[in-house]
Amino acid sequence: MSATTSHEVRFNLPNIEVAAKVWGPADGVPVIALHGWLDNAATFDLIAARMPGLQIVALDLPGHGLSDHLPAAGYSLWQQAATVLQVADSLGWQRFALLGHSMGAIISGILAGSLPDRIMGVGMIDGLLPVTAEADDAPAQMAKYFAASLQAANKRKPIYDSVEKAIKARLMGANTPISREAVGILVERGLMPDHGGWTWRTDPQLFLPSPLRFTNQHAIAFIEAIRAPACVVLANQGVMAKYPAVVERVWQFEHIRVHAMDGGHHLHLEAQAPEVATLLHSFFSDLS
């Protein structure tokens, strides 16, 4: 299958400018792609190029990649979801599909559950349910957020004297196995020059703990409300695999197709990319 090239676009939204990479023809199946936490639009480089007939608009979500940063406390899942809707409206897409990895998959589930009339279908890679907490945990969770916010003012971004050192730092910080090649793709879009070296474009606020989390009932309610065709690619050695109870719950959603595949959390950027692309291409093509 021949690869297609991408081009860059920017969306001037009411309160922020958002960058994106676009693949495919203007008359293709409309798909907005959402990356994971601390990643960027380049996370879809290896699979988007293998899915002809789709127009894939892969966003740098606010605070990531080449997009602007949001004001303080702006990075809730629902705020990011609202930005996705603003992009869709800018494109003139009343109905569209979603492709999400990790955090992007969680945001996709929230949108699909909230707005069934607008979402044609949703494909998710190693992500579905967010980290949850019980209502009684809310005061302690908010306290963590307040404490971290006060400390954040004194923190400075690291500066690396080479891109290779930034890649090594990202590899060391990975919580699941990922190749140097995959990290290189993400880091290229995630760095900017600073003081003769390189530092992260990422908004430091993204490292703050969430001030408020969904309860388990909240999380399940969004997924149960999805009416569009939906599928999840589960990485057998990914993030979700660390939580067997969550994986078991995912398999219990009868309206979601689940495909388990050997590979790590970023399997769509690894050797499994062709297999992931073939599976998702078939899914999205059936929506047209």
Rounded CA-CA distance 281/33 in Å is 13
Q: Which of 6, 67, 102, 108 is catalytic?
A: 102
Active site (annotated) includes residue 285: no
Which two tokens mark 40? Answer: 């960027």
**34 C-beta neighbours (distance < 10 Å), count:** 30
User: Where are any strands of DSSP class E within the chain?
Assistant: 6-12, 17-23, 29-34, 54-59, 96-101, 119-125, 191-194, 197-200, 230-237, 256-264
Would you say 221 and 157 are in contact if contact means Cβ atoms under 8 Å apart? no
Write the DSSP symbol of residue 85: H
What is the Rg, in whole angstroms, of the alpha carbon atoms belonging to the chain?
Answer: 18
Would you say 83 and 12 are in contact if contact means Cβ atoms under 8 Å apart? no
Q: Report H helices in 18-126.
A: 45-48, 77-91, 103-114
In the three-class reduction of DSSP (H, G, I as helix; E, B as strand; rest coil), residue 65 is classed as coil
In the three-class reduction of DSSP (H, G, I as helix; E, B as strand; rest coil), residue 130 is classed as coil
Taking the alpha carbons of 177, 158, 156, 79 in that order, is the dihedral positive or negative? negative
The residues, any chain, with a CB within 8 Å of residue 226's CB and separated by 6 or more, are 109, 112, 113, 116, 119, 122, 255, 256
> Which candidate, 260, 221, 256, places its Cα nearest to that of 244?
260
Catalytic positions are: 102
